[in-house]
A and B are shown apart, each in its own frame.
Chain A
């Protein structure tokens, strides 16, 4: 029986939750550091995050080697955003997780570095929804929240500038996808160089 189709064990559950939490903690810390500058925060931070997190995602999938790992990670991520007040990101990340699971559904997919690279690049691209959804679908709510929560007008103006101008949106999407792709290559290299040699996979 293919490893991917086997039943989840306790070790799989614990590893998935532990590494998902590590991914989310790194994402939040990098975003927090990048908030010091509007340009870095709004244009580059997701790319940096996706580059750094790619090896962790590759390790998580390679180690567990079962279906629904990405789905669980996306659900935990969505719940964290829900706790921070962005309820609409929970269904969004669940949908993203479903798309990723569809790509990885075929038995053996979780051992295929090419498919994993496609999935992480897609996750990197879709992660931009965190910034784009508010401006596309929840602008009035977001603007009221931004004003009442002390955001300066210059910050809101920068946000509108970067996420409404087609040129900037295109640049952000390309940059984050490229960063996710490069991160995937680094993840593949680290898996080969360290984790396979250490015998943990």
Chain B
């Protein structure tokens, strides 16, 4: 079997499937089946970093839950509720992570073919790139504060408002700069031009493998909801 990324519609369909399954099920614990399938789905695209990092985190979550349920483990910071929350949302996290890793050009080309308004496309691309960008920016601000000796616990506790200001102001100024750079880049690439946007990313038609994965995700979701019991929304 070829190990290569699936087309954007498959990724969006997978996201819709896990979202519906997680929102509708009564049995949060059973979402492990969806998480394992989502990890296998990312492995099929050679996203080894997602499989390894999220797989390890998920294994740790499982061990902690087991220890809480069967060995009365008490944790200082997180309760069983938080662990189950992460556990239940894991399939969404894995599939979203895969979606976030999709090249922005591929996503925007697909959304443009679907006649999505340009502001919506731009908004979605900013959301998808938000976490990697912010991670780097927050790290840079903290490094800068550390260089000036502003991260000492005593200082943070003695002057919390000043510390907040030292973090918030450079971070916000950087956010505004990023927004300006992205806007210039979008305009330079023809975002204001009417019509459908193309893409450098090869063939845009769905292959047999893509159709097969769409069918498998649909089947997995239906089976999961039958086995996992659908939640009632009435009061």
From A13, A19, A35, A36, give the contact of B175 (CB < 8 A).
A19
**A17 to B122, Cβ gap below 8 A?**
yes
Min Cβ gap A90→B in Å is 12
From A15, A145, A194, give the contact of B169 (CB < 8 A).
A194
Min Cβ gap B184→A in Å is 8
For A2, what are the chain B residues with a Cβ–Cβ distance below 8 Å? none
**B176 to A150, Cβ gap below 8 A?**
no
Interface assignment of B130: CB less than 8 Å from any CB of chain A: yes
From B79, B88, B234, give the contact of A152 (CB < 8 A).
B79
Contact string against A for B residues 30-51, beta-carbon threshold 8 Å, 1 for contact and 0 otherwise? 0000000000000000000000
Residue of B with least CB distance to A15: B179
Also in contact, A11 and B179, with CB within 8 A (given A22-B134, A152-B79): yes
Also in contact, A35 and B187, with CB within 8 A (given A13-B123, A15-B179, A21-B126): no
For A194, what are the chain B residues with a Cβ–Cβ distance below 8 Å? 169, 173
Also in contact, A190 and B168, with CB within 8 A (given A10-B191, A200-B173): yes
**A14 to B85, Cβ gap below 8 A?**
no
Also in contact, A85 and B180, with CB within 8 A (given A13-B123, A35-B82): no
**B232 to A141, Cβ gap below 8 A?**
yes
Interface assignment of A165: CB less than 8 Å from any CB of chain B: no
Min Cβ gap A70→B in Å is 15
A63 and B183 CA atoms in complex are apart in Å by 14
For B206, what are the chain A residues with a Cβ–Cβ distance below 8 Å? none
Which chain B residues (1-35) contact chain A, with CB distance < 8 Å? 19, 22-23, 26-28
Interface assignment of B81: CB less than 8 Å from any CB of chain A: yes
Of listed A15, A144, A195, A200, residue having the most chain B CB within 10 A? A15
Residue of A with least CB distance to B176: A200
Interface assignment of A1: CB less than 8 Å from any CB of chain B: no
A145 and B80 CA atoms in complex are apart in Å by 13
Which chain B residues (120-149) contact chain A, with CB distance < 8 Å? 122-123, 126-127, 130, 134
Interface assignment of B178: CB less than 8 Å from any CB of chain A: yes
From B85, B92, B176, B233, give the contact of A141 (CB < 8 A).
B233
For B172, what are the chain A residues with a Cβ–Cβ distance below 8 Å? 19, 55-56, 59, 195
Which chain A residues (141-166) contact chain B, with CB distance < 8 Å? 141, 144-146, 148-152, 155
Interface assignment of B186: CB less than 8 Å from any CB of chain A: yes
**B79 to A14, Cβ gap below 8 A?**
no
**B168 to A155, Cβ gap below 8 A?**
no
Residue of A with least CB distance to B168: A55
Min Cβ gap A94→B in Å is 16
Also in contact, A56 and B173, with CB within 8 A (given A13-B123, A35-B82, A83-B19): no
Contact string against B for A residues 22-55, beta-carbon threshold 8 Å, 1 for contact and 0 otherwise? 1001000000000110000000000000001001
Interface assignment of A102: CB less than 8 Å from any CB of chain B: no
Min Cβ gap A190→B in Å is 7
Also in contact, A141 and B234, with CB within 8 A (given A150-B81, A155-B79): yes
Min Cβ gap A43→B in Å is 17
Enumerate 9 A-B pairs (CB-CB under 8 Å) in ascending A order.
A13-B123, A14-B179, A18-B175, A35-B82, A83-B92, A141-B233, A148-B27, A150-B79, A155-B81
Other contacts beyond A16-B123, A17-B123, A87-B233: 8, CB < 8 A: A10-B118, A18-B182, A22-B175, A85-B23, A150-B80, A194-B173, A195-B173, A198-B173
A contact residues vs B (CB 8 Å cutoff): 8-11, 13-19, 21-22, 25, 35-36, 52, 55-56, 59, 63, 76, 83-85, 87, 137-141, 144-146, 148-152, 155, 186, 190, 194-195, 198, 200
